Amino acid sequence: MYVLVRYLRERTKYVVKDCDIDKFRPANVDDFDSKKIYDAWWVGDKKTRGGYYPAHILHMTQTEEEMKLWTNRNRAVSRKRGNSEEELRPRKKALLEKRAKAAAKKAAEEAILEDREEELPETAPATEAEATIKSLGAEIKELKRQNIELQKALCSKIFETAPIDDRRLQPLSYDRLLIKPSKALGKEAHTLDTNVGTQNEAGDVHVGHGTYIDLDTWQRLLQAPLDSTFCKQLAVRLWGNEVLAQRSLTGTLSNRALSKGMTRTYPPLSPVKLASMSASFLHFLKVKGCPPEDLQKRHKCLQKYLAQKCADLRR
């Protein structure tokens, strides 16, 4: 026999067989109590897993066709048994209680908000915020100015440029970005950082001025067959291709670029990493056994290699 049940949990109607109801063995289609709660099998869905759940029996038929006819006729009609007004009262009561709690909660929140507004000072907070923003803006401008001066000072120290004019910051020229070696090639003439090539506790290699790279990369760089290969690969390791493509050595356009009608300028490379490049390149030249008389000439090519790498990545 086929049984139409209504599960109490979600009031879902479902047709099951009489054998799918626990401890239910009807003698005929009328052998059930519409007010009694039975344990009917539910196959399960995304919300509820399968198992026996409490349910009311609404109707029974001998065949599936009879059940379909009955449900079609009574689709818009409440079940005749067990759907009394007493069953609906708990739901209405629960709904009213829920609405009352929501109203009470809203009233309490409004009361708290009113109390807080009364406790706020009469001064307009927007005025204080605007003053704070202006103060912070001035501090940021001052920090930016100091940062530019520090970068210029660092470049001047590293590359032995002309003394800094504190009154006005001049743009960095192309020829002032790399070291200008001293006239006498003494033992320490090109030494920028004597710690290049040393390792820290983590095993990373110091490449100058507080910059470290992993040991494997450093060893591969030292095996570079050409000076340009070493410089360009180290630049990619320190900055990355995306950054190099959007940077230049000086941050200004050369006369050659201006003659070609170029107008776009790119920000300069960071001075600290440039110093690391210079120190590492000197170390590389010494490791390769560069003669002292050639050291200055080969080291001066660093700026050319960096400029070539940046230009190649922008093509």
pLDDT, tens digit, for every residue of 30-66?
989 988 999 998 888 877 788 899 999 998 998 989 9
- Sheet containing 38-42: which strands, arranged edge to edge? 13-17, 2-7, 51-61, 38-42
Domain locations in the chain as residue ranges = 2-82, 84-118, 177-314
Tokens of 130: 């605007």
Give the tens place of pLDDT for each residue, 279-299.
999 999 999 999 999 999 999
User: How many Cβ atoms sit within 10 Å of the Cβ of residue 122?
Assistant: 4
8-state DSSP, 269: P
pLDDT value at position 122?
Answer: 52
Which residues, other chains included, contact 187 with Cβ-Cβ below 8 Å and sequence gap of 6+?
none
pLDDT value at position 189?
Answer: 37
Is the pLDDT at 74 greater than 70, yes or no?
A: yes
281 within 8 A of 231, measured Cβ to Cβ: yes
pLDDT value at position 87?
Answer: 60
Alpha carbon distance 258, 201 (integer Å): 49
The larger pLDDT score, comparing residue 125 to residue 225, is at 225
pLDDT value at position 76?
Answer: 54
User: How many Cβ atoms sit within 10 Å of the Cβ of residue 19?
Assistant: 11
The predicted model gives 2-12 an average pLDDT of 87
Q: How far is CA 274 from the centre of its chain?
A: 29
* ∠ Cα 260 266 272 (to 5°): 135
The predicted model gives 187-193 an average pLDDT of 45
pLDDT value at position 180?
Answer: 41
| Radius of gyration in angstroms for the set of CA atoms belonging to the chain, rounded to a whole number | 42
Query: In the chain, what percentage of residues exceed pLDDT 90?
Result: 37
Tokens of 200: 């820290």
Which residues, other chains included, contact 286 with Cβ-Cβ below 8 Å and sequence gap of 6+?
295
| Burial of residue 244 (number of CB atoms within 10 Å: 0-12, 13-18, 19+) | buried
pTM value is: 0.41
The predicted model gives 127-151 an average pLDDT of 80
Alpha carbon distance 161, 154 (integer Å): 10
37 within 8 A of 24, measured Cβ to Cβ: no
Tokens of 127: 């005025």
Confidence of residue 235 (pLDDT cuts 50, 70, 90): very high
Alpha carbon distance 146, 131 (integer Å): 23
Q: Name the most confidently modeled range: 120-124, 161-165, 299-303.
A: 299-303
The predicted model gives 180-195 an average pLDDT of 45
For residues 274, 214, 211, 236, the Cα torsion angle rounded to the nearest 10 degrees is: 20
Lowest mean per-residue pLDDT among 248-257, 267-276, 302-311: 248-257
Confidence of residue 161 (pLDDT cuts 50, 70, 90): very low
Q: Is 14 helix (H, G, I), strand (E, B) or coil?
A: strand
Tokens of 106: 């809203």
Is the pLDDT at 200 greater than 90, yes or no?
A: yes
Is the pLDDT at 182 greater than 50, yes or no?
A: no
37 within 8 A of 8, measured Cβ to Cβ: yes
Residue 28 identity (one-letter amino acid): N
Q: Does domain 177-314 have CATH number 3.30.470.20?
A: no
User: How many Cβ atoms sit within 10 Å of the Cβ of residue 8?
Assistant: 14
Is the pLDDT at 10 greater than 60, yes or no?
A: yes
- Helix H or strand E segment including 62: none
Ramachandran class of 208: left when φ > 0, alpha when ψ lies in -120 to 50, beta otherwise? left
The predicted model gives 255-259 an average pLDDT of 77
What are residue 10's phi and psi, to 5 degrees? Answer: -125, 10
Alpha carbon distance 228, 312 (integer Å): 13
Confidence of residue 118 (pLDDT cuts 50, 70, 90): low
Tokens of 154: 């660092």
Is the pLDDT at 183 greater than 50, yes or no?
A: no
8-state DSSP, 168: -
